[in-house]
Amino acid sequence: MIVKIAMILLFCTLLTIFPKGASEGAKKGLEYCLELLVPSLFPFMVLSSYIVRSGVSSILGEMFSPIMRFLFRLDGSTAPTVIMSFIGGFPVGARGIAGMYETKQISLNQARRMSLFCVGAGPAFLITAVGTVLLGNTKLGIILLVSQLISGLILGIISRFFYPEKSIKEKNKPKDTISQQNAFIKACTDGSKGIISLSALVILFQTFIGIIEQSGAEQFIEKIFSSMGLSCSKIILPSILEVTGACNVIAEGTFPLYILSAVIAFGGFCVYLQIWGILSEIQPNKLLFILFRVFAAILNGFCTYIITLFYKPVSNVFNSFSERATPNTATHLTGGIAILVLSMLFLLSISVKKRAK
């Protein structure tokens, strides 16, 4: 309790001493949320929650059960959530895991195992937010996505050796059956809560980064990292704290694409707090979670490096990300895809329930 009080007093003092850095950081965080996170993640967060609450995950789970058992040693009903974690990204997978555990479709160990690899970035963030908006080149986002998919699959296979169970019992029927209208409304509520929580954390972390920049501590930290021979000292601190701001710093600099890929895979503690908050009832091992994120960063960076050895979309990819696209050019595709898939799943769930009756 004493440590918490000291941290609160310290933060209040810093806000008072460095108000300009705090306000500029908060403003920057708000811009990241409005231009990058909300357009690319919110539709998929709603979609992920709806898949679980409507019972669609149970329907689709029967088809994917053999694959899920063989690759990840998971219940077949987890297939839609695993797929949505790769499609939606960081908080979407966690939201789906929490929903499945809440409705008793998966066991505690299965939920913890999924938390090790169902928390990476998805195409909405990689292609839309990073590739199109930040880098101004959609092909770069596709390279980042391919690397993410490969590393995610490898992490999923490795995760089968953690949190073992004697047997896998299929639990394809949700505990509570609710109408499609209520499922959609609750999914919208879940998505709204998730995006608000994520945005609040991003703004808070960017405020903290702004204070560090105004205080001059950032230059001091960079000197320490530089003295250790780390050439990427400028991006180490934002990469550890908040991934969206780190991506923006990397995009404005002269860093190779595999560095950006590794930073995105690592995620940063802003993402970790969001995921741990969603998975509070599951209580995953935090140290093991961070170790998997570090391994994911290594895998992602390596995969991106190998891909770019054979394919380079533009000549200046590895020198400077100078060309930018306007935010509005990227916000329609992901939202449209999410709405289309949501509509298809809505109709599928209704037709299947009618046949069952």
**If DSSP codes are grouped into helix, strand and coil, which group holds residue 230?**
coil
**Mean pLDDT for the stretch of residues 61-82:** 81
pLDDT band at 182 (very low <50, low <70, confident <90, very high): confident
**Mean pLDDT for the stretch of residues 112-119:** 91
203 or 182, greater pLDDT: 203
Range among 29-33, 100-104, 236-240, 299-303 with highest mean pLDDT value: 299-303
pLDDT band at 331 (very low <50, low <70, confident <90, very high): very low
* Sequence-distant contacts of 9-13: CB under 8 A, at least 24 apart: 11/208
For residue 105, tell me if it sits in a domain: yes
For residue 2, tell me if it sits in a domain: no
Has residue 332 got a pLDDT over 50? no
Domain count along the chain? 1
254 or 180, greater pLDDT: 254
For the chain, state the CA radius of gyration. 21
Has residue 119 got a pLDDT over 80? yes
For residue 235, tell me if it sits in a domain: yes
For residue 6, tell me if it sits in a domain: no
pLDDT of residue 5: 83
pLDDT of residue 221: 67
For residue 28, tell me if it sits in a domain: yes
CA angle 210, 199, 149 (to 5 degrees): 105
Q: How many CB atoms lie within 10 A of CB 20?
A: 11
Q: How many residues does the chain have?
A: 357
For residue 297, tell me if it sits in a domain: yes
> Quick one: what percent of the chain has pLDDT higher than 70?
76
Q: Which residue has the tokens 């937010």?
A: 129
**Mean pLDDT for the stretch of residues 106-135:** 85
63 or 273, greater pLDDT: 273
pLDDT of residue 351: 53
pLDDT (tens digit per residue) in 277-315: 889 889 889 999 999 999 999 999 999 999 998 887 654
Chain mean pLDDT for the chain: 77
Q: How many CB atoms lie within 10 A of CB 339?
A: 13
**Mean pLDDT for the stretch of residues 157-171:** 73
For residue 251, tell me if it sits in a domain: yes
pLDDT of residue 347: 52
SS (H, E, C) 288-337: HHHHHHHHHHHHHHHHHHHHHHHCCCCCCCCCCCCCCCCHHHHHHHHHHH
- What pTM value is reported for the model? 0.74
Q: Could you tell me the residue range of the domain that residue 347 belongs to?
A: 18-163+171-356
**Mean pLDDT for the stretch of residues 199-210:** 86
Spatial separation of the C-alpha atoms in residues 217 and 219, rounded to whole Å:
5
For residue 8, tell me if it sits in a domain: no
pLDDT of residue 293: 94
- Contact between residue 126 and residue 148 where contact means Cβ atoms under 8 Å apart: yes
Taking the CA atoms of residue 146, residue 268, residue 90 and residue 113 in that order, the dihedral angle to the nearest 10 degrees is 90
Has residue 268 got a pLDDT over 90? no
Has residue 191 got a pLDDT over 60? yes
